[in-house]
């Protein structure tokens, strides 16, 4: 399964994918105020900033999933429901780990909303360890918003 950099022309499609996948998996877990702040425009704005660090799987113009890095963090991993269980997420996380290792990251981490059981199971079977709970300040158009998260970590092998 080929993982490739996101193309700037895919930003609207990817913003919709991220919006829909976030609401499908987080709307029942997140505070109502945060759900209201997570508009399509908000996803598009945040994606525009992240785009150089985003990789995708799927056809040009219609990717099936995206993965973004931020420093030593696996920052976002969202796959369209039609591609759940197909190996798209596995390809994206393997690529993300390789990109992090190539940056010299030895201990990678990610935040997963407390109660997001499918994601937690996926991370565990991908070799990540749940290191506990913390409060993350999520970026919103109203400033930082506190959200309870699980911190997952994985020791990587250096490739540079």
* Interacting residues toward ligand COA by CB under 6 A: 21, 25, 77-79, 84-85, 89, 112, 116-119, 121-122, 125
State the minimum distance, in angstroms, from the CB of residue 129 to ligand COA. 15
Q: Compare residues 92 and 156 and give the one whose CB is closer to ligand COA.
A: 92
As measured in angstroms, the least distance from the Cβ of 63 to ligand COA is 12
E strand spans, the chain: 3-5, 54-57, 65-70, 73-79, 107-113, 129-138, 145-155
Our CB check for ligand COA shows the closer of 105 and 111 to be: 111
Nearest to ligand COA of 48, 117 (CB atom): 117
Residue that is written with structure tokens 């990109």 in the block:
99
Please state, in angstroms and as integers, the Cα–Cα distance from residue 132 to each residue in 29, 46, 66, 91, 119, following that order: 17, 26, 25, 26, 15
Which one, 65 or 105, has the nearer CB to ligand COA? 65
Q: CB 85 → ligand COA: shortest distance, Å?
A: 4
Measured in Å, how far apart are the chain's first and last C-alpha atoms? Answer: 24
Residue with tokens 């987080």: 26
């Amino acid at each position: 399964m080929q993982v490739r950099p996101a193309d700037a022309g895919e930003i609207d499609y990817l913003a919709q994918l991220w919006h829909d996948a976030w609401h499908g998996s987080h709307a029942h877990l997140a505070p109502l105020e945060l759900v209201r702040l997570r508009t399509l425009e908000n996803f598009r704005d945040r994606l525009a900033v992240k785009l150089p660090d985003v990789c995708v799987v799927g056809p040009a113009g219609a990717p099936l999933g995206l993965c973004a890095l931020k420093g030593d963090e696996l920052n976002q991993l969202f796959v369209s429901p039609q591609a759940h269980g197909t190996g798209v997420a596995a390809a994206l996380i393997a690529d993300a780990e390789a990109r992090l290792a190539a940056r010299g990251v030895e201990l990678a981490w990610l935040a997963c909303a407390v109660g997001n059981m499918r994601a937690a199971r996926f991370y565990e079977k991908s070799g990540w360890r749940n290191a506990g709970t913390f409060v993350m300040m999520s970026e919103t158009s109203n400033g930082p918003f506190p959200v309870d998260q699980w911190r997952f970590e994985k020791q990587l092998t250096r490739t540079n």
